[in-house]
Amino acid sequence: MSETKNHPYHHGDLRRALIGTALDMLATDQNWTFTLREVARRTGVSHAAPYKHFRDREMLLRELARIGFVRLGESMTEAMSLGLPSTRARFTAAAQACVGFACQNPGLYRLMFSSDADKTIDPQLHDAAMDTFGILLRLLRDGQQDGSFRPVAVSALAAASWAQVHGLAMLAISNQLLEEKVGSAPVPASLDVLLDGMCRSD
């Protein structure tokens, strides 16, 4: 009865399998308190096997975060490429995609911006985060060039909108955007307030 599981000694693609298991647990529990041993167990390997692919538990977490940034970028890019009429509409679409991503992947989103995913010690993670930030930056520049956004320093627009969107996402997944506090559609409402400040008033 010991050989029903025909697992070959070598898994074949354990690294990817571990990441998949960990992403599943992150999505299920909405936190990353899982132990590395549990990940190994669910993947069907010994508790020491993961160390052949990740130096330590945090290295796995950083890889999850990196994947999160890639996926977030894809979501935003997709939302923007729907043939929307105005730059303002594309901005709103991207922002809502970001908040939507956070709401659908709260654990992952939190991890991406937590201190457990330290970007200062992981160039790949840092680059992935910067690439996603770059999507926003390009949108803002385009908007300034086509006259949609005010010609103030793009850095001010970037800081304001990055903070705004990230703040909305964090508050949304913390259930702090309850209707009785901030109305029924706080995300578009507050984006409109911001855009009123960002857009040319002519």
Partner DNA sequence: TCCTCCATGTTTACAGGAGAAACTTATGCG
Partner DNA sequence: CGCATAAGTTTCTCCTGTAAACATGGAGGA
165 binds its own copies (CB under 8 A): yes
DSSP-derived letter for residue 100 is H
Considering only residues 58 to 117 of the shown chain, the ones binding its own copies according to CB under 8 A are 110, 113-115
**Least distance (Å) from DNA to the CB of residue 10?**
4
**Cβ pair 108, 27 in contact under 8 A:** yes
For residue 84, give Cα distances in angstroms to 87, 89, 118, 124: 8, 6, 36, 32
- Contacts of residue 32, Cβ cutoff 8 Å, sequence gap at least 6: 22, 25, 26, 61, 64, 107, 111, 116
Q: Which is nearer to DNA, 45 or 94 (CB)?
A: 45
User: What's the CA gap between 20 and 64, in Å, rounded?
Assistant: 9
Distance in Å, CB of 183 to its own copies, minimum: 3
CA nearest neighbour of 27 among 99, 95, 100, 109: 109
Figure out which of the listed residues 17, 42, 133, 141 binds its own copies, where binding follows CB under 8 A.
Answer: 133
- Identify which of residues 25 and 45 has a Cβ nearer to its own copies in the complex: 25
On whether the CB atoms of residues 92 and 188 are closer than 8 A, the answer is yes
The site for DNA, by CB under 7 A, has a size of 23
Q: Residue 126 CB, nearest distance to DNA (Å)?
A: 21
Kindly tell me which of 28 and 35 has the beta carbon lying closer to DNA. Answer: 35
Burial classification of residue 14, based on how many CB atoms lie within 10 Å of its CB (0-12 exposed, 13-18 middle, 19 or more buried): middle
Q: In this structure, which amino acid lies at residue 148?
A: S
Site string for DNA, 3-42 (x = CB under 7 A): -----xxxxxxx--------------------xxxx-x--
- Per CB under 8 A, 163 contacts its own copies: yes
Residues forming the site for its own copies (CB under 8 A)? 30-31, 110, 113-115, 119-120, 129, 133, 152-153, 155-160, 162-168, 170-171, 174-177, 181-183, 186-187, 189-198, 201
Residues forming the site for DNA (CB under 7 A)? 8-14, 35-38, 40, 45-49, 51-53, 56-58
